[in-house]
Structure 1
Amino acid sequence: MNFILYAVPFFVVLIVLELIVDRWRGVSNYRLADAINSLSTGVLSTTTGLLTKGVGLVTYAFALKHLAVIELSAESAWVWVFAFVLYDLCYYWLHRMGHERNILWAAHSVHHQSEDYNLSTALRQTSTGFLLSWIFYLPMAVLGVPLLVFVSVAALNLLYQFWVHTRHIPKLGWFEWFFVTPSNHRAHHAQNALYMDRNYGGVFIVWDRLFGTYQEEDDNDPAIFGVTTPLASWNPLWANMQFYAQLWNDARRAESLWDKLRIWFMRTGWRPADVAAKYPMAKPDLSQFRKFEVPLDGRQQLYVALQFGVYVALGSYLMNLADSLPTAALVLGWGAVAFGLFAQGAALENRPWAFRLELLRLALNLPLVWLAPLAGLWPASAVAWVGLLSYSLFSVIGLYCCRNRITRLAS
Structure 2
Amino acid sequence: MNYIFYAVPFFFLLIGLELLADRLRGMRNYRTADTLNSLSAGVLSTTSGLLTKGLGLLTYSIAWQHLALFDLSAQSLWVWLLAFVFYDFCYYWNHRLGHERNVLWAAHSVHHQSEEYNLSTALRQTSTGFLLGWIFYLPMAIVGVPPLVFLTVGALNLLYQFWVHTRHVPKLGWFEWVFITPSNHRVHHAQNPVYMDRNYGGVFILWDRLFGTFQEELIEDPVVFGVTTPLASWNPLWANLQFYVHLWHDAMRAESRWDKLRIWFMRTGWRPADVAAKYPQAKPDLGQFVKFEVPLGLGQTCYAVLQFVPYVAAGTYLLGRGAELGSGTMWLGLAWMAFGLYVIGAWLENRPWACALELARLLANWPVLWLAMDLGLLPFGAVAAWLLLAYSLVSLAGLFGLPRRETALVL
Does TM, normalized by the shorter one, top 0.5? yes
Identify the residue that residue 302 of structure 1 maps to in structure 2: 302
- How many angstroms apart in 2 are the aligned matches of 1:381 and 1:136? 44
- How many angstroms apart in 1 are the aligned matches of 2:25 and 2:10? 22
Q: Please tell me the residue identity of whatever aligns with 2:91.
A: Y
The 10-residue stretch of structure 1 (125-134 or 390-399) with the greater mean CA deviation from structure 2: 390-399
Deviation for aligned residue 1:323: 1.4
Q: Please tell me the residue identity of whatever aligns with 1:258.
A: W
Deviation for aligned residue 1:308: 0.5
Helix, strand or coil: the match of 1:265? coil
Deviation for aligned residue 1:409: 11
Matches within 5 A, 1:165-314: 165-314=165-314
Identify the residue that residue 348 of structure 2 maps to in structure 1: 348
Deviation for aligned residue 1:408: 9.9
- How many angstroms apart in 2 are the aligned matches of 1:342 and 1:158? 26
Q: Please tell me the residue identity of whatever aligns with 1:2.
A: N
Identify the residue that residue 375 of structure 1 maps to in structure 2: 375
CA contact (8 A) 1:186 1:223 kept: yes
What's the CA shift string for 1:33-58, capped at 9, x where partnerless? 00000010000000000111101110
Identify the residue that residue 18 of structure 2 maps to in structure 1: 18
Deviation for aligned residue 1:251: 0.4
CA contact (8 A) 1:326 1:376 kept: no
Helix, strand or coil: the match of 2:224? coil
Identify the residue that residue 27 of structure 1 maps to in structure 2: 27
Helix, strand or coil: the match of 2:172? coil
Q: Please tell me the residue identity of whatever aligns with 2:50.
A: L
CA contact (8 A) 2:295 2:407 kept: no
Identify the residue that residue 106 of structure 1 maps to in structure 2: 106
Q: Please tell me the residue identity of whatever aligns with 1:331.
A: W
- How many angstroms apart in 2 are the aligned matches of 1:57 and 1:113? 28
Please say if 1:48 is aligned against 2:48. yes
Helix, strand or coil: the match of 1:8? helix
For the aligned residue pairs, the C-alpha RMSD in angstroms reads 1.3
Identify the residue that residue 36 of structure 1 maps to in structure 2: 36
- How many angstroms apart in 1 are the aligned matches of 2:32 and 2:321? 29
- How many angstroms apart in 2 are the aligned matches of 1:381 and 1:189? 44
- How many angstroms apart in 2 are the aligned matches of 1:381 and 1:349? 34
Helix, strand or coil: the match of 1:323? helix
- How many angstroms apart in 2 are the aligned matches of 1:188 and 1:9? 26
Identify the residue that residue 162 of structure 2 maps to in structure 1: 162
What's the CA shift string for 1:167-188, capped at 9, x where partnerless? 0101111111110000000001
- How many angstroms apart in 2 are the aligned matches of 1:408 and 1:294? 11
Helix, strand or coil: the match of 1:371? helix
What's the CA shift string for 1:293-317, capped at 9, x where partnerless? 0000000000000111110001011
CA contact (8 A) 1:169 1:183 kept: yes
Kindly report structure 1 stretches of 4+ aligned residues shifted beyond 4 Å: 407-410
Identify the residue that residue 406 of structure 1 maps to in structure 2: 404
- How many angstroms apart in 1 are the aligned matches of 2:143 and 2:319? 31
Deviation for aligned residue 1:385: 2.1
What's the CA shift string for 1:337-359, capped at 9, x where partnerless? 11000000000000011111000
- How many angstroms apart in 1 are the aligned matches of 2:120 and 2:379? 33
Deviation for aligned residue 1:371: 1.4
Identify the residue that residue 120 of structure 1 maps to in structure 2: 120
Size of the alignment, in residue pairs?
408
- How many angstroms apart in 1 are the aligned matches of 2:370 and 2:151? 36
- How many angstroms apart in 2 are the aligned matches of 1:199 and 1:205? 7
Unaligned runs of 5+ in 2: none
Identify the residue that residue 331 of structure 1 maps to in structure 2: 331
Q: Please tell me the residue identity of whatever aligns with 2:187.
A: A
TM-score, reference length from structure 2:
0.98
Identify the residue that residue 68 of structure 1 maps to in structure 2: 68
Deviation for aligned residue 1:401: 1.5
Report the CA distance shift for 1:396/1:216 in structure 2 as closer, same or farther (over 3 A).
Answer: same
Q: Please tell me the residue identity of whatever aligns with 2:231.
A: L
**Identical-residue share of aligned pairs (%):** 70
- How many angstroms apart in 1 are the aligned matches of 2:22 and 2:255? 52
- How many angstroms apart in 2 are the aligned matches of 1:131 and 1:369? 31
Q: Please tell me the residue identity of whatever aligns with 2:70.
A: I
CA contact (8 A) 1:328 1:376 kept: no
Deviation for aligned residue 1:216: 0.3
Unaligned runs of 5+ in 1: none
